[in-house]
Amino acid sequence: MKKNIISSIMLFFTLAVSAQNTVKGVVFEDKNGNGKKEKSEKGIANVAVSNGVEVVLSNNKGQYELPLKNDAIITVIKPAAYRVRIDENNKPQFFYIHKPSGSPKMKFEGVSPTDKLPESVDFALIPQKEETDFTALIFGDPQPYNLEEVDYFYRGIVAEVEGVKNVSFGLSMGDLVGNDLSLFNPYIQAVKKVGIPWYNLLGNHDLNFDATRDDLADETYEAHFGPANYAFNYGKVHFIVLDDVLYPDPRDSKGYWGGFTPEQLQFVANDLKFVPKNNLIVLAFHIPISEPDAKDDSFRDADRDQLFSLLKDFPNTLSLSAHTHLQRQDFLGKEQGWLQNKPHHHYNVGTTSGDWYSGKLDEKGIPISVMRDGTPKGYAFINFKGNTYTVDYKAAGKEKEHQMNVFLPKVVAKGKNTKSALYVNFFMGGENDQLVYRVDNGEWKAMERVVEADPSYVELVYEWDLAEQLMPGRRSSDPSASTHVWKGKIPANLELGTHKVEIKATDMFGKTHTASGSYRIDTL
């Protein structure tokens, strides 16, 4: 009898521990939109749910079960043709935070201790008509360091797209703020005014810098935005959002390093098991996986190699980053570890803060903040069509046709050789693009792509150093070599007077863009 009682107690204890180590729930069709499962609302089968590492599909009743740790975020991976509810700030509600002890005490508050785990952690999905042709709005690095810069971000960027139409959702590419995590809420209040569902990801300036472990560096971010690693589907596109900031740097426990943890890579592996091979895979993270030269060690190579291994059977891919406050197109091939014949396109998106809110003030009192490579501050629209895409970059405060900056000498001497040249900064340009120019409706000639500083930006910077009086605003950063500058020779043997120069750029998507300028030929 005594043995039976002990056995019963041990069985009860085992079941109790087992119950605490798993999470169960239902993915259901939320017909009335209240976020709560009613008896009449049916479960949805074959929807992926994750605990941040494992990924399972709901059964034919919409039920799922996952292992659970005492510090976990459970997420539903939104399927195509459904949407998740959004909160009053337009943040998608696709997750449940389980932190019974809450976040450890740090400078900036994290997650408060959560309630007892519900018997069923349910996820509400609402059917929606979801076209396979759609557009997403992408913000790189808002990164305000104070409330004044939050205002610059709102008036200079958000106000321009407030109430935007025909855009399905937005995504900010990290560095939502600049180290002061108390600015998360002002940032959220600014972005909500765009008026569309808005996703976010973690950047190196969004960290709890007093954290001693990488898994604790995102506690305040989690309290405001939810998981730093998640996925969702829209049309025939599968989005994977990852925190690729290793902090503290595992090499010396100082600073940060770009890379992924084993748990993140396992999450990607488990997630991709349920994604059709022909879908477009879009990966979004803050630090670029591309390294421009051999001296650049900004990203852990082994992690990139492992990620590429997981993508080797997916022919349609795109990855996005920000971080550098430069805009560039990289095409990664076998030399960079890519395992397919067609190179992988990595797009490092230009930033909404530009060159950290520097430069002269415009007519609204907002810094012009041109980036060091000559790219105006702005944002990107990614247009998806099935499993293909095109990208449009929009320079803030400019017409959508403004895709190039043209630099020409104002005057050259007639008949004399000149080292002056035509420079064109094609903001979205890459190594596969073609630029041609002509003078006075003459023959079209090819321009040469060069990796140099954009002289238009050089002129902006040194205006500060040559000024004899203080200028409002803040001096911009020193120029950097740009990967999207083209150069052409200026003919000096034409007639005296003004001569028109036309430029035509054909981008990687086959779209044509035009610009023009002029210069004068004169004699002493």
Q: What is the CATH number of the domain that holds 81?
A: 2.60.40
pLDDT one-digit tens code per residue, 216-272: 999 999 999 999 999 999 999 999 999 999 999 999 999 999 999 999 999 999 999
- The verdict on residue 505 lying in a domain is yes
- Give the pLDDT band of residue 12 (cuts 50, 70, 90): very low
Q: Are strands 344-348 and 328-332 parallel, antiparallel or unpaired?
A: antiparallel
Which of these three, 77, 100, 124, is where a domain ends?
A: 124
**Does residue 417 register a pLDDT over 50?**
yes
- The reply to whether 294 and 351 lie within a common domain is yes
Averaged over 270-292, what is the pLDDT? 96
- The verdict on residue 235 lying in a domain is yes
Q: What is the CATH number of the domain that holds 478?
A: 2.60.40.10
* Total-model pTM: 0.94
Q: What is the CATH number of the domain that holds 362?
A: 3.60.21.10
pLDDT one-digit tens code per residue, 178-211: 999 999 999 999 999 999 999 999 999 999 999 9
- The reply to whether 186 and 313 lie within a common domain is yes
Q: What is the pLDDT of residue 296?
A: 81
Q: What is the pLDDT of residue 133?
A: 98
- The reply to whether 255 and 332 lie within a common domain is yes
**Does residue 18 register a pLDDT over 80?**
no
Burial 195-231 (b: 16+ CB within 10 A, else e): bbbbbbbbbbbbbbbebeebebbbbbbbbbbbbbbbb
Averaged over 281-301, what is the pLDDT? 91
More confident residue, 88 or 415: 88
pLDDT one-digit tens code per residue, 341-388: 999 999 999 999 999 999 999 999 999 999 999 999 999 999 999 999
pLDDT one-digit tens code per residue, 162-179: 999 999 999 999 999 999
- The reply to whether 391 and 412 lie within a common domain is no
Report the number of secondary-structure helices (H) and strands (E) in the chain. Answer: 8, 30
- The reply to whether 295 and 381 lie within a common domain is yes
Give the percent of the chain with pLDDT over 70: 96
State the Cα–Cα distance between residues 45 and 27, nearest whole angstrom.
Answer: 8
CA distance from start to end of the chain = 116
More confident residue, 1 or 375: 375
Q: Which two tokens stand for residue 180?
A: 């002061």
Peptide bond into 100 cis (omega under 30): no
Q: What is the pLDDT of residue 14?
A: 40
Burial tier of 74 (Cβ tally within 10 Å: 0-12, 13-18, 19+)? buried
pLDDT one-digit tens code per residue, 77-133: 999 999 999 999 999 999 999 999 999 999 999 999 999 999 999 999 999 999 999
**3-state class (DSSP) for residue 119:** coil
Averaged over 505-524, what is the pLDDT? 96
Residues whose CB is less than 8 angstroms from the CB of residue 404 and which lie 6 or more positions away in sequence, other chains included: 424, 425, 426, 427, 503, 505, 513, 515
State the Cα–Cα distance between residues 417 and 414, nearest whole angstrom.
Answer: 9
- The reply to whether 120 and 144 lie within a common domain is no
Q: What is the pLDDT of residue 294?
A: 64
- Give the pLDDT band of residue 6 (cuts 50, 70, 90): very low
- The verdict on residue 40 lying in a domain is yes
Q: What is the pLDDT of residue 4?
A: 47
- The reply to whether 298 and 220 lie within a common domain is yes
Q: What is the pLDDT of residue 5?
A: 43
Averaged over 309-329, what is the pLDDT? 98
Which of these three, 395, 412, 442, is where a domain ends?
A: 395
- The verdict on residue 120 lying in a domain is yes
More confident residue, 13 or 432: 432
CA angle 483, 401, 461 (to 5 degrees): 50
- The reply to whether 61 and 111 lie within a common domain is yes
Residue type for position 343: P
Q: What is the pLDDT of residue 380?
A: 98
Q: Which two tokens stand for residue 376?
A: 């105006």
- The reply to whether 467 and 363 lie within a common domain is no
- The verdict on residue 129 lying in a domain is no
- Domain span at residue 204 reads 135-395
State the Cα–Cα distance between residues 172 and 179, nearest whole angstrom.
Answer: 16
- The reply to whether 478 and 388 lie within a common domain is no
Which residue's entry shows tokens 């050089």? Answer: 458
- The reply to whether 61 and 142 lie within a common domain is no
Q: How many domains in the chain? A: 3
Which of these three, 395, 421, 441, is where a domain ends?
A: 395
- The verdict on residue 130 lying in a domain is no
- The reply to whether 311 and 438 lie within a common domain is no
Q: What is the pLDDT of residue 20?
A: 57
Mean pLDDT of the chain: 95
